[in-house]
Amino acid sequence: MKIKFLNILKEGVIDYPFKNTRKLTIINDEGKKVDVQCELAQKPEEKQQGLLHRYSLCDNCGVLFDSDRNSGYHMVDMKFPIEMIFINGGQVVEIISAGIDEENISPTDSFSMNLEVNDGFSKKNNISVGNNIIY
């Protein structure tokens, strides 16, 4: 039997948007700047909740997770597909599309941050592995 995380987290739901924000800029394949307005998932409860309980993100919005561990992610109870842009040393090291209810999504490269955006964001903005990040 699959336990739905939505039911477990319902009582401790954190309001969106997360309190802390930051602009992150990605230099894409054409050398153009792509700005992303990020909510920062810093507190343990923000990291645990992530994008649960949301139905969408604006086009150039995302949630940025600083990672103190390289672990897997899950999409259980997500309402929309996303893309995970993994960052290490100021560069994109991996991009993974994640569908609804997908489990155990793990990047192959080590990373220090995970930027979660709408699915298709990288293709739409010509972003690929090796692109530089400006914080």
Q: Tens of pLDDT along 90-113? A: 999 999 999 988 888 888 888 999
What is the overall mean pLDDT for the chain? 86
Confidence bin at 15 (pLDDT 50/70/90)? confident
Cβ count within 10 A of residue 113: 19
Confidence bin at 9 (pLDDT 50/70/90)? very low
Alpha-carbon dihedral angle through residues 66, 72, 77, 81, given to the nearest 10 degrees: 80
Please give the radius of gyration of the chain, using alpha carbons only, rounded to the nearest integer.
14
Residue 11: CA atoms inside 13 Å, Cβ hemisphere, count? 1
Q: Tell me the average pLDDT across 75-94.
A: 93
Q: Which of 61, 133, 50, 39 is nearest to 98 (CA)?
A: 50
Q: Tell me the average pLDDT across 28-49.
A: 92
pLDDT of residue 77: 81
CB-count exposure of residue 131 (10 Å: 0-12, 13-18, 19+): buried
What is the pTM (predicted TM-score) of this model? 0.86
How far is residue 117 from each of residues 1, 8, 75, measured CA to CA in Å?
Answer: 30, 24, 13
